[in-house]
């Protein structure tokens, strides 16, 4: 369907999703996500929904999370525990002390959480909990890798026509490894993304593939995107 000289719109209807994207789009031809208001080249609408969402918001919704703008404050509402790790734009930090203190503020006593954080290079800083908007808690286990996620990867690899096997360690995702090959293609090892690299704002981006020869590494991707990535790279 052509809507003018500079761009056209492709509408794809799938059983559970309608997807719209622009082709040959000019700079000012973008869609707007109704949840996070990001400009994007494509928006999606789930079956039974009335709103059009960007792919990140669709992913959040698919994972039972609330779609919306990316917030930087990902602190849990509870007090942080000693030994927990956080990521900030400046690096990875470990909580080395965690205290609840009473601080007078405008003469009124307030309860606050005070933390000492130690960066991976040994540098220490003291922070008050509510000022830590740029710190993001790193989950300390592979909780993001579930049996359902493994099944999803398996069916994506099969659907893409790849030959694959796993090492049977679904019970210990840290040791989980898949091997996948496209006929006459390269052999790839696929592993779950470790907690440090897991982005809670892109909850389906869980897998990374590594190829030994030629040495290559994929970005962290969703199961389906990764299967396509492996299939499309030449041998």
Shortest distance in whole angstroms from residue 9 CB to Zn ion: 19
Instruction: Report residue 17 as tokens.
Output: 């999703």
Site mask for Zn ion (CB under 5 A), range 25-64, x = bound: --------x-xx-----------------x--x-------
Q: Does 221 bind Zn ion (CB under 5 A)?
A: no
- Closest CB to Zn ion among residues 43, 157: 43
Q: Does 145 bind Zn ion (CB under 5 A)?
A: no
How many residues bind to Zn ion according to rule CB under 5 A? 5
- Closest CB to Zn ion among residues 73, 140: 73
Shortest distance in whole angstroms from residue 202 CB to Zn ion: 11
- Closest CB to Zn ion among residues 35, 132: 35
Catalog residues that contact Zn ion under the rule CB under 5 A: 33, 35-36, 54, 57
């Amino acid at each position: 369907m052509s809507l003018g000289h500079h761009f056209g719109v492709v509408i794809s209807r799938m059983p559970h999703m309608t997807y719209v994207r622009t082709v040959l789009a000019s700079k000012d031809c973008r869609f707007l996500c109704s949840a996070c208001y990001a400009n994007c080249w494509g928006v999606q609408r789930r079956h039974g929904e009335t709103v059009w969402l960007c792919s990140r918001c669709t992913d959040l919704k698919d994972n039972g999370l609330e779609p919306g703008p990316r917030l930087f404050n990902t602190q849990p509402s509870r007090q942080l525990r000693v030994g927990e790790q956080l990521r900030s734009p400046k690096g990875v930090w470990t909580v080395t002390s965690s205290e609840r203190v009473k601080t007078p503020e405008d003469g009124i006593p307030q309860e606050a959480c005070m933390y000492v954080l130690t960066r991976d290079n040994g540098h220490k800083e003291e922070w008050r909990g509510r000022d830590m908007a740029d710190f993001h808690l790193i989950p300390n286990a592979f909780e993001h890798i579930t049996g359902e996620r493994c099944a999803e990867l398996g069916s994506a690899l099969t659907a893409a026509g790849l030959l694959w096997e796993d090492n049977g360690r679904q019970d210990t995702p840290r040791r989980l490894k898949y091997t996948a090959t496209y006929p006459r293609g390269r052999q790839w090892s696929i592993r779950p993304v470790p907690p440090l690299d897991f982005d809670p704002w892109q909850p389906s981006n869980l897998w990374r593939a590594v190829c030994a020869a030629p040495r290559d590494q994929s970005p962290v991707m969703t199961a389906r995107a990764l299967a396509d990535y492996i299939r499309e790279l030449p041998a």
